[in-house]
Structure 1
Amino acid sequence: MILTVTPNPSLDRTYEVPALERGEVLRATGERMDPGGKGVNLSRAVAAAGHDTRAVVPLGGAPGALVAELLAEQGIDVVPVPLSGHTRSNIAIAEPDGTLTKINAPGPDLTPRESEAILATVGEHAPAADWVACCGSLPRGLIPAWYADLVTRAHGHGSRVALDTSGPSLLAALRGRPDVVKPNAEELAEAVGRPLATVGDAVKAAEELRTAGAGTVLASLGADGQLLVSAEGVWYGTATVTAVRSNVGAGDASLAGFLAAGGEGPEALASAVAHGAAAVQLPGSQMPTPAHLDPAAVTVTADVPLDRALTE
């Protein structure tokens, strides 16, 4: 069972439009409403793949109630932590060429009592989990070290921990020694404080995160594939994608595929790449099912193209 923790969940509305034109009245050709947030998306992807998952989510107001309802409809065991504030609502506008414009609300301001309630709730459910996945940005009221506390507590319950966050929260959490961290190329560059021009640069940056405390680094490089850097070795994975429809939640789907396949080694990387490739070809933040996966389109190799330029 994979337990997810999403400190700043959302209610996400995605509209598909022929083109984004400022100042004009746009008529959507398609729309979706989904529960959002990295951990929420990960739970949705795990459930879509047929595995057990439980989602710890701080929720408040009518948007929060709708998030819980939508998650339950997808077969996810929801563990709500009541908030005095309202869960945020986000908007995404998707164009036919794959361009996505997102408007993300800041979210509620959590009180110290609500912060501790989330940590306590994770502690109650972590012993039953194979993985605890801590995902997304922190809402107002939570300091960057909050994730470090969460990682340490989860480890204390015997759980392996995957972390998908960025900036000061990622750097602070490394001292808790998370088993897996999953940055994208931009987040990886931010973490090491320099631009990454090649796949080799990304490998070096990932090794620096491992030195700082990460057990394994699963790095999403967008259209340039994915990297897995661990004590056992370095692998590089790519997939053939026919057309990009929306990249919302693609990284979350990748992490779900990785953890569901065991969370280590080239086989898990292949699963991550397959899930991510399937996700970008689906509308909005729809998560792929096994029927959407195309393992034959995935290539994983230990012969990493270090000189390959990163395009994103």
Structure 2
Amino acid sequence: MIYTITVNPSIDYVLQLKNLNTGEVNRTQNDVKLPGGKGINVSRIMKELKIDSTALGFVGGATGSMFLELLAQHNLKTAFTKVSEDTRINVKINAVDQKEETEINGAGPAITTDERQKFIDGLDGVGDGDIVVMAGSLCKNLDASFYLDIAKKIQAQGAEFIIDTTGQALLDTLPLHPLVVKPNHHELAELFDVEFKDQQEIITYARKLLEKGAKHVLISMAGDGALLVTKDKAYKANAPKGTVINSVGAGDSMIAGFAGTFMETKDPIESFHMGAACGSATAFSQDIAVKEKIDEVYKQINITEV
């Protein structure tokens, strides 16, 4: 089983308008409310790939109830921990003529010590052969050690883990050998406080994450495609042709494609191919990509050793 952890899920209120004029009244062309969160996106792509997953996280309040109602429309298996404070709302503004996306993200609920422990106890059933995907920002009152504590627990129970976060929370888990980490090229540069001049420098610093313990490193590079870096080799996936409609969830979709395929095949190259297809297919979609779009994009992607 694959478990996805979205510590700080949200209702994503996505607004589309021609232009965003700050300080004025703006009227939308259309809008949609979606169940948001990086782990949620992973589970939704898994559903499209017909791979079982269970979505975990914290939800609370009236917005938490609405979040669960929105999520129920996608027929996902879930086991969320209820908390006393409200689930957050994130606003995503897509100004079409300006070709700009603006995001305003809520902080989310503060998690109590008892709520934290209840969540941790809920992981007792995770074990051999399972993969746990930890993705996204942390709620208030949860420090960077939260992901580390989860990684230690599920690893001791025989499971693998994937972490998709940044900064110290990522670095702290590397000695536990995550199956894959996925910073984008900007996040990778920030981790080491450098600026990249070319692709080879990106690969060099990706290998530093391997040296610190990661088993595989995925680097998303937007219009320049993506990289998979392993101990001995590096591979590149080209960026397929298409119009980027909504980049929210593209990185999560890449993780989903990689994790789901790796669980079935144990082949990192094929997993990278599917991950790249899922990521681009979502970028070319209004919402998370559907299977037909993933299959279409998969045929456009070539994996080459670099």
TM range (shorter): over 0.9
**1:30 Cα deviation from its structure 2 partner:** 2.0
- Per-residue CA deviations over 1:153-174 (Å, capped at 9, x if unaligned) read 1112211111100112111222
Where do 1:77-92 residues align within 5 Å?
77-92=77-92
Q: Distance in 1 between matches of 2:258 and 2:270?
A: 8
Q: Which amino acid aligns with 1:297?
A: Q
| Structure 1 residues not aligned, in runs of 5+ | 305-312
Partner of 2:279: 276
Q: 1:298 aligns with which of 275, 297, 301?
A: 301
Secondary structure of the corresponding residue to residue 238 of structure 2? strand
Partner of 1:308: none
**1:232 Cα deviation from its structure 2 partner:** 5.0
Higher relative contact order (CA 8 A, sep 6+): 1
Partner of 1:117: 118
Q: Distance in 1 between matches of 2:128 and 2:61?
A: 29
1:267 aligns with 2:270: yes
Secondary structure of the corresponding residue to residue 274 of structure 1? helix
Q: Return closer, same or farther for 1:29/1:241 CA change in 2, 3 Å cut-off.
A: farther
Where do 1:1-312 residues align within 5 Å?
1-96=1-96, 98-124=99-125, 126-127=126-127, 130-231=130-231, 233-262=233-262, 264-283=267-286, 286-293=287-294, 294-302=297-305, 304=306
Q: Which amino acid aligns with 2:50?
A: G
Secondary structure of the corresponding residue to residue 258 of structure 1? helix
CA RMSD of aligned residues (A): 1.6
Q: TM-score, normalised by structure 2?
A: 0.93
Q: Distance in 2 between matches of 1:117 and 1:24?
A: 45
Identity %: 32
**1:254 Cα deviation from its structure 2 partner:** 0.8
Q: Distance in 1 between matches of 2:302 and 2:2?
A: 26
Contact preservation (8 Å) 2:128, 2:157: no
**1:215 Cα deviation from its structure 2 partner:** 1.3
Contact preservation (8 Å) 2:226, 2:239: no
Q: TM-score, normalised by structure 1?
A: 0.92
Aligned length: 300
Contact preservation (8 Å) 2:45, 2:289: yes
